[in-house]
């Protein structure tokens, strides 16, 4: 690794190195060996300082940054060489004038030191650096539209084909109940059960598909102490937590992980990744490398690599790569094409890069001035809703599972902060790096508004809304919000029809997914969006065994049937008067152990005789 850092340092300082070598040779040829040795000593000291700067800062190896750093190193080297040349004492030679030997300075052109030449080189270096900075800044603006339109984003005019998790009669996706905050709290409560617990820290979780389930992976790492790292040398493993079960407990997987982000020297994962990728001109993003495991449980730290567009500081979203480090062995691998990544790797694109790609396309596809300039028309400009997601630089991204893939969901809205309606949804495939935009044609609410409505509905509890996720329930786009208490424990669900504006007949609450789903379906009676059924419609009759009421929802059991039927008092005003023993008949859509009554319940006990 240290040899690679030497090569990377040379990449950023090559022009300065050339000037130093030129200056040292100039001193030697002028007969100033002692001065040349001092010059060489200064060069070695500066080389070590530059090496340390690269090792600590990890400067991005983009074309613009490389050019500027080389020009800076050229100016510094030229100024130092000019100083060495000016201060050097010219050698004296003896000249016979008659019978007397006279010593005088050698002023022949071949023996003159080139102080003025180095001064001119320094001047040209400064001028070129100023011009380069100006050109790069101008290109960042002028190329904005081109870069935005090169982003791999496909647009659709409706949400019909959006990869929203589906809940219907044929599909039953389980909503993600465990937020990252919940998982981190659970894991910190479990840390005391592993050896050397007071040495470790848990700072992040990563979602992936493991054994066909959406799972959080949370690595333990050193707490930052150099001396503890030197004492223990490794961490003992990572935690895995089911993302969909509110009763899931963190499972500790024991693995000897010698390479981690909080380790030092050659065991530092981030510096290993940088060393193996920088010479390829790919940029390692600032995100902390995250842990993903293969189907056998082998841990790998993973980070996304991006490429800059030309000499600008903008990302060329067409070019993405990934670097992995085996946390047990330190083996590094760079995949310069996401298509060549291993199959077990679900998340090749980190959330910040995904958010940047969508943001560039949504904001600047019609030009930088249109989006950012004074008096810009803002034609077609959209921005991501921030603060309601779980990942990304501004919490604008939420990972969702659709089939066996992870997508990053972002809700896009108007650039005007007063507007709370969604203009569309962006889904970014975490495996391929491609984004898809689906235009919303209804008056759908933003996820942060869904959070506020959920909080207001449960104001008396003091619970906080987290992680609104978009599901397609019986064809209806629906925000599913998890309510957490002050200790980040899950307490309740709130389901809100995305186009319902928070009215009572479009919101349902419950302590678990099954209960809340039944209540939510009961709100809409016999109608289903887009012709999508919520189970097979069947005729049902029998005697009521038990009745339970929760607000406007009445749930009941029939003798001999293990199905919980739910009806809304809003669709059947007589439903609240049902009681055990009543003979009833109705139509219901049944899915598993739940049934949603369509229309109303015919109750023989309540039938009025003429």
Min mean pLDDT across 42-51, 365-374, 448-457 is at: 365-374
CB-side neighbour CA atoms (13 Å) of 81? 31
Q: What's the average model confidence in pLDDT over 398-406?
A: 87
Take residue 535 and report the two structure tokens written for it: 């189970």
Number of neighbouring beta carbons within 10 Å of residue 528: 21
> Which overall architecture, per CATH, does domain 535-606 show?
Beta Barrel (2.40)
- ∠ CA 534-412-354, nearest 5°, is 100
Place of tokens 């992995």: 324
Which contiguous run of DSSP H or E holds residue 237?
A: strand 235-242
Res. 177 pLDDT band, cuts 50 70 90: low
pLDDT > 90: percent of the chain: 41
Res. 133 pLDDT band, cuts 50 70 90: very high
Residue 490 CB burial class (10 angstroms; 0-12, 13-18, ≥19): buried
Which contiguous run of DSSP H or E holds residue 54?
A: helix 33-57
Take residue 216 and report the two structure tokens written for it: 């959080």
> What is this structure's pTM?
0.80
Q: Give strand ranges (E) for 498-558.
A: 507-510, 536-550, 553-558
Calpha distance 137→259 (Å, rounded):
38
pLDDT at 457 over 90: no
pLDDT at 2 over 50: yes
Residue 105 CB burial class (10 angstroms; 0-12, 13-18, ≥19): exposed
Max intra-chain CA distance, the chain: 153
Q: What is the pLDDT of residues 354-368, one digit of tens each?
A: 999 999 999 999 888
Min mean pLDDT across 10-24, 70-84, 496-510 is at: 496-510
Take residue 90 and report the two structure tokens written for it: 């010219």
Which contiguous run of DSSP H or E holds residue 324?
A: strand 315-326
Number of neighbouring beta carbons within 10 Å of residue 129: 18
Which part of the chain is CATH 2.40.50.140? 535-606
Residue 99: the pLDDT is 52
Residue 534: the pLDDT is 56
Q: In terms of pLDDT, which residue wins out, 166 or 587?
A: 587
Query: DSSP assignment of 241-285, as one string?
Result: EESS-TT---EEEEEEE--BTT--GGGBHHHHHHHHHGGGTPEEP
Q: Give strand ranges (E) for 487-593.
A: 490-497, 507-510, 536-550, 553-558, 564-568, 583-591
Q: What is the pLDDT of residues 322-331, one digit of tens each?
A: 999 999 999 9
Take residue 55 and report the two structure tokens written for it: 């090792």
The strand pairing partners of 97, in sequence order, are 100
Residue 292 CB burial class (10 angstroms; 0-12, 13-18, ≥19): buried
**Average pLDDT over the chain, rounded to whole?**
85
Q: What is the pLDDT of residues 104-119, one digit of tens each?
A: 554 444 444 567 889 8
* Closest to 241 in 3D by CA, of 295, 195, 201, 187: 187
Calpha distance 361→23 (Å, rounded):
49
Residue 109: the pLDDT is 44
C-alpha separations of 539 from 30, 528, 585, 586 in Å: 106, 18, 7, 6
């Amino acid at each position: 690794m240290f040899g690679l850092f030497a090569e990377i340092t040379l990449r950023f300082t090559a022009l300065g190195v050339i000037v130093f070598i030129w200056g040292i040779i100039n001193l030697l040829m002028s007969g100033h060996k002692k001065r040349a040795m001092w010059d060489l000593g200064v060069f070695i000291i500066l080389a070590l300082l530059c090496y340390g700067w690269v090792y600590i800062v990890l400067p991005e190896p983009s074309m613009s940054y490389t050019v500027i750093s080389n020009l800076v190193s050229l100016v510094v080297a030229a100024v130092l060489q000019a100083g060495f040349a000016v201060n050097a004492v010219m050698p004296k030679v003896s000249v016979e004038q008659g019978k007397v030997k006279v010593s005088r300075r050698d002023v022949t052109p071949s023996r003159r030191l080139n102080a003025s030449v180095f001064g001119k080189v320094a001047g040209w270096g400064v001028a070129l650096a100023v011009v380069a900075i100006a050109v790069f800044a101008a290109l960042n603006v002028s190329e904005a539209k081109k870069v935005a339109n090169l982003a791999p984003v496909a647009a659709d005019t409706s949400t019909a084909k959006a990869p929203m998790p589906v809940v219907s009669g044929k599909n039953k996706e389980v909503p993600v109940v465990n937020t990252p905050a919940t998982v981190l709290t659970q894991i910190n409560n479990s840390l005391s059960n592993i050896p050397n617990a007071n040495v470790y820290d848990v700072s992040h979780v990563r979602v992936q598909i493991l054994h066909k389930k959406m799972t959080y992976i949370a690595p333990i790492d050193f707490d930052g102490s150099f001396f503890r790292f030197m004492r223990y040398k490794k961490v003992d493993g990572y935690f895995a937590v089911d993302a969909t079960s509110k009763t899931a407990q963190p499972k500790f997987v024991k693995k000897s992980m010698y390479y981690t982000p909080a380790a030092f020297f050659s065991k530092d994962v981030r510096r290993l990744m940088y060393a193996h990728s920088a010479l390829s001109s790919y940029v390692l993003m600032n995100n902390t490398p995250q842990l993903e495991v293969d189907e056998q449980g082998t841990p790998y730290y993973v980070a996304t690599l991006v490429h800059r567009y030309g000499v600008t500081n903008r990302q060329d979203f067409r070019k993405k790569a990934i670097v992995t480090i085996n946390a047990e062995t330190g083996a590094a691998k760079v995949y310069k094409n996401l298509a060549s990544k291993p199959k077990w790797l679900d998340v090749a694109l980190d959330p910040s890069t995904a958010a940047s790609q969508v943001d560039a396309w949504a904001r600047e596809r019609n030009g930088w001035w249109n989006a950012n300039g004074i008096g810009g028309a803002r034609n077609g400009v959209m921005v991501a809703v921030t603060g309601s997601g779980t990942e990304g630089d501004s919490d604008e991204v939420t990972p969702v599972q659709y089939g066996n893939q992870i997508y990053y969901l972002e809700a896009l809205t108007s650039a005007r902060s007063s507007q709370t309606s969604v203009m569309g949804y962006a889904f970014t495939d975490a495996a391929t790096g491609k984004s898809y935009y689906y235009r919303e044609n209804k008056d759908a609410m933003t996820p942060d508004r869904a959070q506020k409505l959920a909080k207001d509905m449960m104001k008396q509890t003091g619970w906080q809304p987290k992680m609104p996720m978009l599901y397609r329930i019986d064809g209806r786009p629906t925000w599913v919000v998890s309510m957490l208490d002050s200790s980040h424990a899950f307490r309740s669900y709130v389901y809100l029809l995305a186009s319902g504006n928070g009215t009572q007949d479009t919101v349902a609450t419950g302590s678990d997914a099954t209960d809340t789903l039944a209540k939510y379906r009961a709100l809409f009676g016999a109608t289903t969006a887009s012709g999508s059924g919520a189970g097979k419609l069947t005729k049902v009759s029998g005697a009521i065994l038990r009745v339970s009421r929760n607000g406007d929802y009445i749930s009941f059991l029939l003798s001999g049937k293990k199905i919980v039927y739910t009806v809304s008092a809003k669709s059947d005003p007589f439903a609240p008067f049902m009681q055990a023993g009543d003979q009833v008949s109705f139509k219901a859509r049944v899915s598993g152990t739940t049934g949603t009554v369509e229309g109303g319940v015919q109750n023989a006990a309540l039938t009025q005789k003429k």
